[in-house]
Amino acid sequence: MSAQPTLPPSTSPDDKPPRVGRSLLWRGALAGVLICLMTAGAVSATVLLQVDEIIDILREEGRAAIEIPEIDRADAGKAQTLMILGSDRR
């Protein structure tokens, strides 16, 4: 028996080893791009659905006044001019 390891018939001692790292980097980059594109698609679809829902509500109900019980409605009157005296030192 010989001490040298046996090589498969298609390889020679001068062949370089396969470059597994480059293909792994390409697959990782492709996966990253796909994840970004799918996330952007999901976010844009969600925003469009929310905006569509808000538009439907506004079309049905119109612009309704918001009732706030703590604030009294101001009486309408004529225009006034106010003069504020003082210095604007900060």
Residues 23-67 pLDDT 10s: 899 999 999 999 999 999 999 999 999 999 989 888 887 776 777
pTM (global) more than 0.85: no
Half-sphere exposure of 14 (CA within 13 A, CB side): 0
C-alpha torsion 34→38→40→44, nearest 10: 160
Q: Where are the domains positioned within the chain?
A: 35-63
